[in-house]
A and B are shown apart, each in its own frame.
Chain A
């Protein structure tokens, strides 16, 4: 809970700061709509990777899954004339299969998640480029109905100028389901437990392999959902570049939002807010006229500062606790004078 307050505080700070420094452009309804949309798209994939990070793993292949799904969907629809539901089901099944493959390799062959998903990153990117002959894919002028999912906006009753992007509704739904799953079901508890100590979890009768596989499936499926939405949103998908680096944005948001790469820790809402912080930062770099060449450096520095602050707070807390314990001990044990 404290962690969520921390990241929410950071969000408010970054938001207000940008609003004060660039009031005209930042608070434009168009800009805010855009920001919301980007947050939603990236938020969905961040939630996915959060599950994997909670198990103590990592998924580096997210960007390439987005690239592969994003090129396959228009290709299936426009070139092969597959119907919309079939195409959607096909790419979702593909994402699920990718997650399943990762999970099986990691649990049954005991390969390292880093290695497995790094290979995934290379393989899926290569496949996306090969299947499409490296040609940019898009939906043209068709499929406006389908594209509405990723571009549509819903007018809000009390805000005349700001329309809510539909992707945000999707994000909200995914967030709620993911948070309930993580915090209220036994599987969520299993994931948190095995992320802390896989052996103890196994000795408590938890089928840890199955849980880890599940986490990788969730991650890849949400990456697939992200892939579909990004493609529909952009309508122009470059096989070589679409989704590049997205896994790192997702991981960064998860870490910023309170996930520990050591596993066992994390909150879904924190991850979503973490992603929102990153999006506002991006936006502010453009709006404040900071050279975009500095983009990565600034994002990196902010994340690092956040993680350092978190660690410092943690140390102070544990030092205080140790001091209290030492004092209690000294009181409770009058026999052992120093």
Chain B
């Protein structure tokens, strides 16, 4: 490793700005990383963490500002330059060719050759050395798809080390790991730090940040909110900086008494996790959160409740009547609506207008004789939703893809509110939208609950769960592992339930 300059940090970002159509993702952001340091970068969804990391990894280029490496300005204009500068990004979604072996993945794209053919012996020998560094005890000849997610992540880290990375960027590495796997990852991180590797660690889990980080940089709305040194890292300080205002105000809740039971789920078996049966109920005017790790089966549960997937067994009652939902149309008729996880893939038809998107689910209900569209009704619904949800759009005829993420999400909500559902299912309702829109969506959830809608939402953001839910259901590996009322919800308890199965076994 090169000896760093006397005073210059290993990596420094100065006044970096990055714009995307419709948003300023980063606004004059600064960041410093010292040698052998674990720097946590935290912030809510849409705060600009991922964009900043993409700039460092050469995936995006900044519109303004400088990146300095050991005090010298560098131009990171491609992933290749980032790698040769020793910066390696480990994405939240793993980027492995899972049909190939561990060794082949580690050397993908830069295979050492002998006589023009891949030198497999050498690859496997060198891969083994890198695997040892991360403490992964598998043969380099193992096919990646046979490894657990946690181990695949170790392969990613080994791959990064094989490029002589001095700076490792980890984007939410624990979002789909069990507690044990996460612990193993933390050990590797500490080990790497001891060997002088610097790590930028991005996470929503403030507990992890507290445990690992030497320093914390907080981003908010694309700007620097503040830095916290090791001794000042604590949960409340981080939350306050991330949210930028008093939490109780940000997560807007008006007190209201839940009414009678609307949704009753008994012994429901979701096809993806046939070993567990799920039972719970939801009352009028209640906001219930579903917490859990990525891959815990939360989305699948919502999809069964919305008729996208068929349950293997179990019963769903809505308003006391048993309902069998074989497709979303049945669910819609029973008064259920789903704001899906990926609004671009499942929520919206991006090339269609705001009016057409809002009108789509209601076309059937409001159809005229012989199946003609009720255009008048559609226009009225669209205008009403634009007004009610404060959708920022030049008009109802604007094509949805040109709206910002927050306004797109409001269009998805508008689609369903126009049908006045009794049960509203929300899957990661604030993912990838700016803080202002987020707060509006929280207000809306509160308003809907106050008007008697039963709201069930899935979220990976602990703050959102703790801030919005009257009650939280926690899932782990397809099973409902627990339920906590509002006054008993803490991050620790929720996390424990979210990894309960493993904890009990270990």
Residues of A within 8 A of B (CB): 184-187, 189-190, 192-193, 196-197, 199-207, 264-265, 321-322, 325-326, 329, 333, 335-338
Contacts and interface: CB of A to CB of B under 8 A. Distances in A.
A189 B349 CA distance: 12
Interface string B334-349: 0000101000011111
Interface string B348-381: 1111100010001101100100111100000000
Nearest to B17: A336
Most buried by B among A200, A203, A325: A203
A205 B364 contact: yes
B422 to A, nearest CB: 15
A193 B360 contact: yes
B19 A326 contact: yes
Contacts of B64: 337-338
B363 A189 contact: yes
B27 interface: yes
B190 to A, nearest CB: 38
A326 B327 CA distance: 42
Most buried by B among A187, A201, A336: A336
Closest 8 CB pairs of A and B: A186-B363, A205-B332, A205-B329, A204-B360, A185-B371, A204-B361, A205-B328, A196-B349
Contacts of B347: 200, 203
Given A192-B352, A338-B63, 16 more contacts: A184-B372, A185-B370, A186-B373, A196-B349, A197-B345, A200-B346, A200-B347, A202-B328, A203-B306, A203-B328, A203-B346, A205-B364, A321-B402, A329-B22, A329-B24, A338-B64
A320 to B, nearest CB: 13
Contacts of A193: 349, 352, 356, 360
A199 B346 contact: yes
Contact of B24 (A184, A264, A265, A333): A333
B276 interface: no
Contacts of B284: none
Contacts of B373: 184-186, 189
A308 B369 CA distance: 41
Contacts of B361: 204-205
Contacts of A206: 329, 360
B415 interface: yes
B28 A202 contact: no
28 contacts: A185-B372, A185-B373, A186-B364, A186-B371, A189-B356, A189-B363, A193-B352, A196-B351, A201-B360, A202-B308, A203-B306, A203-B328, A203-B338, A203-B346, A204-B360, A205-B327, A205-B361, A205-B364, A321-B402, A325-B402, A326-B19, A329-B22, A336-B17, A336-B24, A336-B27, A336-B28, A337-B64, A338-B64
A199 B17 CA distance: 35
A3 to B, nearest CB: 14
A235 B364 CA distance: 46
A287 to B, nearest CB: 41
Contact of B19 (A192, A201, A329): A329
Given A199-B345, A205-B328, A338-B64, A187 B351 contact: no
Nearest to B364: A186
Contacts of B329: 205-207
A258 to B, nearest CB: 14
B220 to A, nearest CB: 14
B109 interface: no
A190 B352 CA distance: 12
A326 B27 contact: no
Contacts of B506: none
Contact of B367 (A186, A326, A333): A186
A332 to B, nearest CB: 10
Interface of B: 17, 19, 21-22, 24, 27-28, 63-64, 306, 308, 327-329, 331-332, 338, 340, 345-352, 356, 360-361, 363-364, 367, 370-373, 402, 415
Nearest to B222: A336
Contacts of B415: 204
Nearest to A196: B349
A265 B352 CA distance: 10
Contacts of A205: 327-329, 331-332, 361, 364
Contacts of A325: 21-22, 402
Most buried by A among B331, B338, B346: B346
A190 B402 CA distance: 22
A329 B18 CA distance: 12
Nearest to B343: A200
B21 A322 contact: yes
Contacts of B370: 185
A321 B401 CA distance: 12
B255 to A, nearest CB: 33
Contacts of A186: 363-364, 367, 371-373
A199 B350 CA distance: 12
B360 A187 contact: no
Nearest to A188: B373
Contact of B328 (A204, A264, A338): A204
B89 to A, nearest CB: 25
Contacts of A326: 19, 21
B15 to A, nearest CB: 10
B149 to A, nearest CB: 24
Given A203-B308, A321-B402, A325-B21, A197 B350 contact: yes
B304 to A, nearest CB: 14
Nearest to A184: B372
Nearest to B375: A184
B346 A187 contact: no
A199 B367 CA distance: 22
Contacts of A197: 345, 348-350
A264 B351 contact: yes
B17 A338 contact: yes
Nearest to B333: A205
A277 B459 CA distance: 55
Contacts of B402: 321, 325
B22 A200 contact: no
A264 B308 CA distance: 22
A325 B373 CA distance: 33
Nearest to A333: B24
A205 B346 CA distance: 11
